[in-house]
Chains A and B, each alone.
Chain A
Amino acid sequence: MFAFMEKNSSDKAIIMSSESISHGSGMTILVVATKMPGWVWFGIFLIIFFCWQLPEQARAIELSDDIQVHGFLTQGYFLTSENRVFGTSDSGGSFDLTEAGLNASWSPVTDLRLAGQVLFRRAGAGHEHDVELDFGLLDYTILSTADYRFGARLGRFKLPFGFYNDTRDVLFTKPTILLPQSIYFERTRELALSGDGGLLYGEYRGAGKNISLEFGMGIPRGDSLDSELGLLGSDYPGETQSKLSYIGRLGYDLEGGKYRMAISSMWVDTRYDPKFLPPGDLPPLKLIFKPVIFSAQYNIDKFSLTSEYAIRPFEQTNLNNQSSRNIIGESYYLQAQYRINEDWEAIARYDVLHKNRQDKKGAKYRTTTGYPAHSQFAQDWTFGLRYYLNSSFLIAAEYHYVNGTAWLPLQDNPDLNDSAQRWHLFSLAASYRF
């Protein structure tokens, strides 16, 4: 359900006027703060930036020897020629992306560590004031030697897949403001973020090489409106709910990280519980998503080359009559980063998404549903630049030329017929971390 699970709705779109389902965001204090428009957040950011002595070497705050606190704040601006990304970006641009996080890690005794991160997010329609627990876990090291490590994490853990998912909201840890959308969809972000359960991890260190394995089971966060829209295509009267799911990632690093490889896979189970009987609602559904992602990266001093490829099989079963349908999607990207000097970095990427391998151009989809064929694919050419003022401040800018609308956030773009096939996106973001 990590955005991979994009269900092609063959029913008429019944988009209900959105009252977004609020998830854990009942804090009135923050509601007041979040009513402020985007430019005010940007202004606050500038104030922090200019008036506060820029801490050249901002340390993590250490409350005591055993506790570390870190955080970040990002403010983004989006301008699109057509279609909408994070708010009304197609009319004068949008400042509707503000992300802030605060995390702490505490190690009371040697093999035990508790860590948690809270995120605050404004991200366009339906995400005006999201406050969420990103992760909250207990990490226990079962075995630790010079060559091996083995342990377990319990609680809410970040879902380990691909190279970028576990830190996808922090501008410092991702290559561009928008991650490659064919693999790290924004539209079903909650599903991909973290799960509640347990995870085992192991590591082996050889000469210059490092093998790591993570295997987790838990319940992802698939009960949001975004997930429902992403999976079913519309906001139906019932609810989506995540069930026990599994995830694993095997990583292999050579020569101290000069070559990095990974294979990630998951088996994600989501159910749709209808409120009414058909035809006023869908039948009860079981949606199984089991993608495999191959990741590879080459790193030298000034240059990094990254590529990821995903096969995204998706199976939807009608629990009333056990009939099922299968769709296999495909995604890949190729990315090159060039570190001009210690302050500047340039990036170029080509990212491709097909929702259905057997209908790459979406022609079959258009015939069956009447909806635009371009909602079934997306090709994205991205060019970006980033500037590190110091180790705590970063400014990034990027331009995307996109052919296709397969990954457009659905709450920002409720009417697919209104979207344009070819469009441009420009984004600027500033980020602070400590």
Chain B
Amino acid sequence: MSVREMMTRYTINLLIMLAFCYPSMVSAENYPMVVVNPTINAKAFLPKTTLSAIFGMRLRKWQDGSPIKVFVLPDQNSLHIAFSKHVLRVFPHQLRSAWDRLVFSGTGEEPIRVKTEQEMRTVVSSTPGAIGYLSPEMIDDTVKVFPSE
């Protein structure tokens, strides 16, 4: 193989590698997105403090007074970990500690756990007041996306 052919092969390999790395390099586009039930009538975006308060189970109702139903995936689920770290910007263990403190002290409740993203989408689209999160490719028109800051 000539040097030129090797260089071409090298470059192609590099580009292929970058193509795979690209999603994580520009990972913001692939971050989980907050989704809500389509009937929710709220502001155009949820500031991070409000999102934290909702998923931290401290803010329990929407502006119109209807209850917020929070759904999450299991603690070990990679989408949940990504949501916690990149969207809420807390570590999953902190979220779990906060929920456990609420539940076992009687001062609050924890979110409802669903097993899969399909289940998440089904339950958010069919439950009034629901909020959850999904990976971008799982989103369809049965749920409303909430952009966050």
Residues of A within 8 A of B (CB): 56-57, 59-60, 62, 65, 68, 70, 72, 101, 103, 105, 107, 110-111, 113, 115-117, 134-135, 137, 139, 141, 144, 146-147, 149, 153, 157-158, 160, 166-167, 169-170, 172-173, 201, 203, 205-208, 256-257, 299-301, 339, 342, 390-391
Partner of B105, one of A111, A166, A203, A206: A166
Bound form: Cα–Cα A113–B60 in Å: 11
Measured between alpha carbons, how far is A110 from B64 in the docked complex, in Å?
A: 11
Which of B58, B90, B109 counts the most chain A CB atoms within 10 A?
A: B109
Binding site for A on B (CB under 8 A): 47-50, 52-53, 58-61, 63, 65-67, 69, 74-76, 88-91, 93-94, 96-98, 100-101, 103-110, 112-113, 115
26 cross-chain CB contacts under 8 A = A57-B74, A57-B115, A60-B112, A101-B104, A103-B106, A110-B65, A134-B106, A139-B107, A146-B47, A146-B53, A146-B63, A149-B58, A153-B106, A153-B107, A158-B105, A158-B107, A167-B104, A172-B100, A173-B97, A201-B107, A205-B53, A205-B58, A206-B49, A256-B88, A256-B94, A391-B74
Known: A110-B61, A110-B65, A257-B94. A105 touches B49 (CB 8 A): no
Most chain A CB atoms below 10 A, which of B52, B61, B63, B106 = B106
Is A342 a contact partner of B76 (Cβ separation < 8 A)?
Answer: yes
B59 contacts A146, C-beta separation under 8 Å? yes
Of B52, B60, B100, the residue contacting A256 (CB under 8 A) is B52
Contact A144:B101 (CB < 8 A) given known A208-B49, A301-B91: no
Check A167 against B94 for contact (C-beta < 8 Å). Answer: no
Nearest CB in chain A to that of B67: its residue: A110
Cα–Cα distance between A189 and B113 once the two chains are bound (Å)? 33
Name A59's closest neighbour in chain B (CB-CB): B113
Residues of B within 8 A of A149 (CB): 58-59
List residues of chain B with CB within 8 A of the CB of A57: 74, 113, 115
Residues of chain A contacted by B96 (CB below 8 angstroms):
391
In the bound complex, residues from chain A placing their C-beta under 8 Å from that of B88 are: 256
What residues of A have a CB within 8 angstroms of the CB of B105 in the complex?
135, 158, 160, 166-167
Check B106 against A157 for contact (C-beta < 8 Å).
yes
A166 in contact with B59 (CB, 8 Å): no
Residues in chain A near residue B76, CB distance under 8 A: 342, 390-391
The 4 nearest A-B residue pairs measured at CB:
A166-B105, A135-B106, A167-B104, A115-B106
Specify which of B50, B61, B66, B105 lies most central, judged by the most chain A CB atoms within 10 Å of its CB.
B105
Q: How far is it, in angstroms, between the C-alpha of A73 and the C-alpha of B107 when the chains are bound?
A: 20
CA distance A105 to B99 in the complex (A): 13
Return B101 CB to nearest CB of chain A, in Å. 6
* Chain A residues near B48 (CB-CB < 8 A): 207-208
Whether B94 lies near A116 (C-beta < 8 A) is no
> In whole angstroms, how far apart are the Cα atoms of A103 and B100 in the complex?
12
Q: Are B106 and A137 in contact (CB under 8 A)?
A: yes
Contact B97 A105 (CB under 8 A): no
- CA of A256 to CA of B98, assembled, Å: 11
CB contacts (< 8 Å) of B93 on chain A: these are 339
